[in-house]
Amino acid sequence: MAEKPVIVLVRPQLGENIGKAARAMLNFGLVEMRLVAPRDGWPNPSAGPAAAGANVVLERASVFETTAEAVADCAHVYATTVRKRGVTKPVVTPEEAAREMAGAAGRSAILFGPERSGLETEDVALARAILTVPINPDFGSLNLAQAVILCAYEWSKHEGLVQPTQEDLLPPAPQEELDGLISHLETMLEPRGYFLPESRTEATRRTLRGVLTKPGWNHLEVRTLRGVLSSLQRGPKPDLKP
């Protein structure tokens, strides 16, 4: 397994955005953040609340004076920008970059520029490739956390993260309980002529069974439906007004 990429925020301006970026990182298993000359210094009291619990990322964040120092130990550096800014380099998507990083030896880093202006040409010059996404040419502005989460998500596909599941998901009800539900409903439908004409009775019963079998209801759901049918059988209470 390749080393996890480093997220490098170059001259970030707002503590809230640093916190939101940390939250986006931890969502997808990234924990190493490096800050280059943050405008308001570090630590920043506004970052913690915005991180919404991703404190481990903020606590481990390291600060550098220059971008070159921040990526000095990284063999593969990607610069996120919507423009090449006069530098001729390969252009890759987050998906392509994640695939390259997952198969590469050595550390990788992804550079994100200041919120207002993005990376400078000198920053982009340090990268081996430009990382960008197809975006609306009339509105190509992503906030910092959005940009980070796009890249972190693509990396997570190579990380083997497990998609969350519902722990309380119950198995389908036993066939006996489902048969009871079907029989209950058929008993209610027969006096109302639902299965007529007789030539179509068996086909109608099979279709009804297929409809009721398909959802895979659990035993609680079957019990609820049986309760609904029983309530309908009893009819309205005498004291209920129409």
Domain coordinates in residue numbering, the chain: 6-156, 175-234
CA distances from 64 to 30, 46, 68, 71, 118 (A): 19, 20, 9, 10, 18
Q: How high is the pLDDT of residue 77? A: 97
Q: How high is the pLDDT of residue 1? A: 64
Other C-beta atoms within 10 Å of 76: how many?
20
3, amino acid identity? E
Q: Give the C-alpha separation, 68 to 206, whole Å.
A: 71
Other C-beta atoms within 10 Å of 62: how many?
12
For residue 177, give every residue at least 6 positions away whose Cβ sits within 8 Å of its Cβ, in sequence order, or none: 219, 222, 223
* DSSP 3-state of 175: helix
Pairing of strands 76-80, 62-64: unpaired
Q: What angle (nearest 5°) sits at the alpha carbon of residue 79, between those of residues 90 and 144?
A: 140
Reading the block at residue 193, the tokens are 């002529």
77, amino acid identity? V
Q: How high is the pLDDT of residue 226? A: 93
Q: Are 89 and 119 in contact (CB under 8 A)?
A: no
Render pLDDT for 112-125 as a digit per residue (tens, 0 to 9): 999 888 899 999 99
Q: Give the C-alpha separation, 224 to 180, whole Å.
A: 13
pTM of full prediction above 0.85: no
Q: How high is the pLDDT of residue 141? A: 75
Q: How high is the pLDDT of residue 51? A: 95
In 30-141, where does DSSP find H-type helix?
47-51, 55-60, 67-70, 94-102, 121-124
Q: Give the C-alpha separation, 220 to 205, whole Å.
A: 24
Tokens 């190579």 appear where? 158
- Name the class of domain 6-156: alpha beta
Question: For 218, which DSSP code?
Answer: B
Q: How high is the pLDDT of residue 134? A: 83
> Of 40, 42, 49, 41, nearest to 20 (Cα)?
49
| pLDDT < 50: residue spans in the chain | none
Cα dihedral 85, 90, 95, 100 sign: negative
